[in-house]
Structure 1
Amino acid sequence: MSFLSVTSIPKLRWSSPTAFTLKPPAVSVAFLILGLVIFGLGEALLISAGVGVSPWTVFAEGLTNVTSWSLGFATFVISASVLFLWIPLRQTPGVGTILNAIIIALVLEYVLPLLPVFQGFITNALLALLGVLVTGCGGAIYLIANLGPGPRDGLMTGLQAITHQPIALVRTCLEVLVVAIGWALGGTLGLGTIFFALGIGPATAIGMQILQLRSNVH
């Protein structure tokens, strides 16, 4: 359970020295792309399971209920608002901030149709759980690349920096708060949503710890 005490993103051999750079190391870019592809695959597995969307999608659904916006526009407004919160949190964007949206969207577009569709609830629940674990692993890889987080991950790292609390705890509290607001606004809550809200923080911390341990071995 030592992963629950992880309080910072490790700096490994393939981490970029700085997030905001016009000439990022090639190895950092490679791990960034790898991490984002895995991250997108995890989200695709969660969607394919069909037992509940991510907390931020629940939030976006709830927002559509009170504004009559489309789900896509609500998602955009939430992401833009989160980016504004980066300013007081002193988070630094980078190429990863841009590629986050592009690569994950491409993975969802082309991989989601290829994933199997199961009928049994238990099978889909396990698929959703796998999706959370895969998403956490991908998030760990791309965050360690240190080329700029996505809007929500940047909010997590910013809050962690000012609270000095473990990453798993900060992310879990953030996701639970978001899903609670979304549900209160009328968003759809499912088992996959609960898995994601409670599991993405620990999954990301586990991924970071494993990568750091393997790096130390080598």
Structure 2
Amino acid sequence: MSDSSRPRLIPMTPLQQLRAPRTARRLLHLVGGIALLGSGVGLFVQAGLGVSPWDVLHQGLSNRLGLSFGTVIVLVGLVILLLWIPMKQWPGLGTVVNTFAVGPVADLVIRWLPTPDPLAVKIALMAVATVLMALGTALYIGAQYGGGPRDGLMTGLHFKTGLSVRLIRTLMELSALGVGWLLGGVVGVGTAVFALSIGPLTQFFFRWCVVDISRGRR
């Protein structure tokens, strides 16, 4: 299948998202994607080689506030959703599920999976985690129920300021990384691996994960 004939993401209001066809498959993508994304976040933390820029922030806040890593993910997501209000961004079902589910799933993985000692196992765990996060992201966004808090903030700032999505995303990631590092979050080789690989991997999985809602099939 050529890129031009593949299913594409369609801009929709939250109500249009709920009314769109293929509900069962879209919900399966949403739930499965969030489960994989949260699991990947937890695995990446337990690999012990550094975390993604946003998770550096989550980790730093977790250390300072004495809250679990997953709880901080939820709280930061809620704060970011407040920033949607002046930009007139509306959360969809995917936004809500992402906000409240990724953190608890990550906490479960962190709680039950010990950090491995051999470096080779850490590297393998980091690689698996990166793939799971990319696949999970492609699945839940491909369900066409809306993106997570950080994605919505990025697009909202893009429309408000006219700056490129690439520039805004870069500034957001660097800001989260810098603040998180100052708060004691762990920056390591895993941070660089995530930054360089998550975009291409997510784009790779998108070709199979976007649900086609243009033909009205359920």
1:46 positional shift: 0.7
Which 5+ residue runs of structure 2 have no aligned equivalent? 214-218
Q: Deviations over 1:125-181 (max 9, x none)?
A: 232133123202211111121213221232234345553445xx7545432331122
**Cα contact 1:61–1:187 (8 A) shared by 2:** yes
Call closer, same or farther: CA 1:104–1:197 in 2, change over 3 Å.
Answer: same
- Following superposition of structure 1 onto structure 2, how do residues 66-81 of structure 1 map, counting pairs within 5 Å? 68-72=64-68, 75-81=73-79
Amino acid at match of 1:189: V
Asked if 1:26 is matched to 2:24, the reply is yes
- The answer to whether the aligner puts 1:197 opposite 2:195 as a matched pair is yes
1:47 counterpart letter in structure 2: V
Q: TM-score, normalised by structure 2?
A: 0.70
Query: Please, what is the CA RMSD of the aligned residues?
Result: 3.6
Q: Partners in 2 of 1:171 and 1:206 — Cα distance?
A: 19
* Distance (Å, rounded) in 2 between the aligned partners of 1:157 and 1:32: 20
Counterpart amino acid of 1:40?
G
2:186 corresponds to which residue? 188
User: Which residue in 1 is equivalent to 2:56?
Assistant: 58
Paired residue for 2:139?
141
Residue matched to 1:87: 85
Percent of residue pairs identical: 35
* Residue ranges of structure 1 left out of the alignment (5+ in a row): 4-8
SS of the residue aligned with 2:14?
coil
Query: CA 1:58/1:38 → structure 2, altered by over 3 Å: closer, same or farther?
Result: same
Q: Deviations over 1:32-84 (max 9, x none)?
A: 1121122122112212312223322322344467xx53344754543232112
Partner residue, 2:163: 163
Q: Which shows bigger deviation, 115-124 or 82-91?
A: 115-124
* Mapped partners of 2:156, 2:202: distance in 1: 15
CA offsets, 1:173-206, max 9 Å, x none? 4323311222134332222233223433333233
Question: Matched residue pairs, number?
Answer: 200
TM-score (norm 1): 0.70
Which residue of structure 2 aligns with residue 6 of structure 1? none
CA distances 1:9-50 after superposition (whole Å, capped 9, x unpaired): 932xxx795434555623222211121122122112212312
One-letter amino acid matched to 1:163: L
89-98 vs 170-179, which moves further: 170-179
1:37 pairs with 2:48:
no
Stretch of structure 1 that moved more, 36-45 or 69-78? 69-78
